[in-house]
Amino acid sequence: MTETIRIGCGAGFSSDRLGPAVDLAQRGALEYLVFECIGERTMAFGHRDRMLDATRGYNPQLGARMRAVLAHCRANGTRIITNMGVANPRAAAALTVSIARELGLNGLKVACVEGDDVGALVGPDTAFMDHPGAVKDVGLRMVGANVYLGIEALLPALEAGADVVVAGRIADPSLFLAPLAHRFGWAADDWTALGRGTLAGHLMECGMQITGGYFADPGFKDVPRLADCGFPIAEVGFDGGFVITKLDDTGGCVTPATVKEQLLYEVHDPASYLTPDVTADFSRVAVEPIGPDRVRVTGASGRARPEMLKVTVGFDGGFLGESGISYAGPNAQARAELAADVVRQRLTRRNGFGGDLRVDLIGLNSLHATARAAGARSDDIRLRVAVRSAQRDDVDFMLWEVESLLCCGPAGGGGYRGQVTPCVVTHSTLIARDLVKPTFEMFVA
Amino acid sequence: MSPPRRIHDIAHARAGDKGNTSNISVWAYDPSDYPLLKRQLTAARVKRAFPGLFTGKVTRYEVDHLHGLNFVLLDALEGGVNTSLNLDSHGKSFSYLILGLPIEE
């Protein structure tokens, strides 16, 4: 069998670009277009948004994306699979249906996949896999728990003819593996094929991270036309071997180096990449350039899937406050360091301040401040103060203190900004596979 | 005398996060530099270089045929993306901590 399936990635994270996705929908000649939009951070945002407004909690760009691609996809026979439902797949599916109707796409079939919400199965004594203790030890209110679903959750919707599948927490590679298993009829225990398809999904799931995005390092790793980078396409064969490429006339590049960086992105043991579908083995993968922006990837394999599934448990984490003020010119570093000292003193003296505090000198040492001492001195520095607390007052007080430096701090400080963000903290646990019951419901526009 | 070479001169890298665990893959540009990279970047050196940040166990996986190393760093993300107060709460920039290490020749 020589048939190949063309799958595109229209988003590799929640805030990914829209234009390149429309480009793929228009002229990608795709059978499937996948939008992968959940990470640990954005899953937490989904819960936060749903907490604030029960009709929200899905990807904020869902509407814009669907409005831009639905008509093209229908015209070209491209089916859409996405996890943009995040913490509220039902609301996301309803919005998709209403947009389809607005666009006159009558009869479009939108499947809503649920079952990832396992809040009812997580109790006070549920122990974490990545953190000491159990749910009851966190001391915060649980706001949601989502299990990573695999292709079993998506296949019934594809078999029922969905044009668009909207889900929540699906394991990222499974969004791509599901259409392959569906079309090629791979058995649920064909570990080699599932391992190979999982590799295709893993390489595709971060969008431009394989077509030159997140790669450029001028003079060392140069990427042509980065501003116009295209999203990736996988051409997958029946045996699970595949080629990664992108559309002509887009920026970026697909090379063995871009493929290798993504190969181990968020992978621990390359021989044991666990998903709900398979224990994939990427340790003997070969990458071979076979043309301009075309890399053939072979050699993945797999073993039996894990019996336990990973669950992300979210808790109401109170508030994150971040604020800053800048110092530049002669002696800027000494002035910024004095400002940092003033803020620390005043926060420490306040009775009952219970939050975590971090003070950075951006331009001198910030991202790496906990790893190493600062290098050269700097004459353009931004003081950054960050606080996390369950008490909104703590966070507001910190912002006020930093803003007060405008008149009360060292000389020449300017450019105060501050923001407070409600936040959700997350931990992971495991749950037995047989407790998880994914379902789907079809809606027709 | 020229400044000492850094890992950045011979390799590229990408960092990813899962919970409070970071992984950083490091790839030799030129296969002939891979043995040097492998000698320079031991798990012990990576942990020793940044004891204040990489507080947990460091494991190194080797993908010899692709000339790459994968470091898995437990408890390395100051709590993880939803807990850390680091501006870069994913620890994405930690790849360049490793690339900034000098080549000890």
Distance from CA of A285 to the nearest CA of B (A): 8
CATH of the domain at A389: 3.30.70.60
Compute the nearest-CA separation of A82 from chain B (Å). 21
Percent of chain A with pLDDT over 70: 99
| Number of independent structural domains in chain A | 2
**CB-CB neighbors (< 8 A) of B68 in chain A:** 260, 264
d(CA A213, CA A417) in angstroms, rounded, equals: 30
Contact across the interface for A261 and B20, Cβ inside 8 Å: no
Cα A143 to Cα A93: distance, rounded to the nearest angstrom: 22
What pLDDT, in 10s, does the model give residues B1-32?
677 899 999 999 999 999 999 999 999 999 99
The region of weakest confidence among A5-14, A137-146, A347-356 is A347-356
- Residue A1, pLDDT score: 47
* Distance (Å, whole) CA A155 – CA A182: 6
Is residue A140, in this structure, part of any structural domain at all? no
- Tell me what the mean pLDDT of segment B60-83 comes to: 95
Contact indicator for A384, A402 with CB cutoff of 8 Å: no
Q: Are residues A174 and A56 in the same domain?
A: yes
Contact call for A367 and B18, based on CB within 8 A: no
| CB atoms near residue A401 (< 10 Å) | 22
Task: Name which of A38, A128, A261 to mutate to probe chain B: the one with the most chain B Cβ atoms within 10 A of its Cβ.
Answer: A261
Q: Using one digit for the tens of pLDDT, what is the confidence trace for A280-324? A: 999 999 999 999 999 999 999 999 999 999 999 999 999 999 999
Q: pLDDT digits over A379-420, tens only?
A: 999 999 999 998 899 999 999 999 999 999 999 999 999 999
The two tokens of residue B3 are 């400044």
Q: Give burial (CB, 10 Å; 0-12/13-18/19+) of A307.
A: exposed
User: Which pLDDT score is estimated for B3?
Assistant: 79
Closest partner residue to A386 among B14, B50, B85, by Cβ?
Answer: B85
- List domains and CATH numbers for chain B: 7-99 (3.30.70)
Contact A281, A195 (CB under 8 A): yes
Q: Is the pLDDT of residue B58 over 80?
A: yes
Q: What is the mean pLDDT of chain A?
A: 96
Are residue A29 and residue A104 in the same domain, yes or no? yes
- Chain B residues within 8 A of A40 when measuring between CB atoms: 17-19, 80-82
Q: Are A292 and A390 in contact (CB under 8 A)?
A: no
Residues 6+ apart with CB under 8 A from A395: A318, A319, A320, A321, A355, A387, A388, A389, A420
Are residues A243 and A318 both part of a single domain?
no
Q: What is the pLDDT of residue B79?
A: 87
A352 in the same domain as A241 = no
The answer, yes or no, to whether residue A2 has pLDDT greater than 80, is: no
Could you give the CA distance from residue B34 to residue B11 in angstroms, rounded to a whole number?
Answer: 9
Predicted local confidence at residue B1, as pLDDT: 63
A253 and A162 inside one domain: yes
pLDDT at A420: 97
Quick: pLDDT tens for A99-137. Answer: 999 999 999 999 999 999 999 999 999 999 988 899 999
Answer yes or no: is A295 within a domain.
yes
A189: CB partners within 8 A, 6+ apart = A304
Interface with B, mutate which of A268, A288, A322 (most B CBs under 10 A): A268
In this prediction, residue A377 carries a pLDDT of 87
Same domain, A300 and A329: no
Give the residue from chain A lying closest to B71, CA to CA: A268
B100: closest CA of chain A, how far (Å):
11
Contacts of B18 in chain A (CB under 8 A): 40, 266, 268
Contact list, A209 vs chain B (CB under 8 Å): 14
Quote the pLDDT of residue A23. Answer: 98
In chain A, the percentage of residues whose pLDDT exceeds 90 is 91
Cα A348 to Cα A342: distance, rounded to the nearest angstrom: 10
H/E run at residue A157? helix A151-159
User: Does a structural domain hold residue A126?
Assistant: no
Q: Is residue A134 part of a domain?
A: no
- Does residue A129 fall inside a structural domain? no
Compute the distance between CA of residue A36 and CA of residue A175 in angstroms, rounded to an integer: 8
Does A150 reside within a domain?
yes
> Predicted ipTM?
0.96
CB within 8 Å: B85 and A387? yes
Q: How far is A185 from chain B (nearest CA, A)?
A: 32
- Name the residue range of residue A324's domain: 313-428
Structural domain contains residue A293: yes
**pLDDT level of residue A351 (50, 70, 90 thresholds):** low
Check residue A11 and report its DSSP letter: E
Q: Which residues of A touch B61 (CB under 8 A)?
A: 268-270
Q: What is the pLDDT of residue A380?
A: 97
Q: Which residues of B touch A (CB under 8 A)?
A: 8, 12-14, 16-21, 23, 25, 27, 29, 50, 52-54, 59, 61, 63, 65-66, 68, 70, 72, 78, 80-83, 85-90, 93-94, 97
Is the domain of A231 the same as that of A93? yes
With respect to residue A291, please indicate whether it lies within any of the assigned structural domains: yes
- The beta-carbon neighbor of B27 closest among A261, A388, A423 is A261
In chain A, the residue whose alpha carbon lies closest to the alpha carbon of B20 is: A130
Same-domain check for residues A58 and A167? yes
A392 and A412 together in one domain: yes
CA distances from A205 to A127, A200, A262 (A): 29, 9, 9
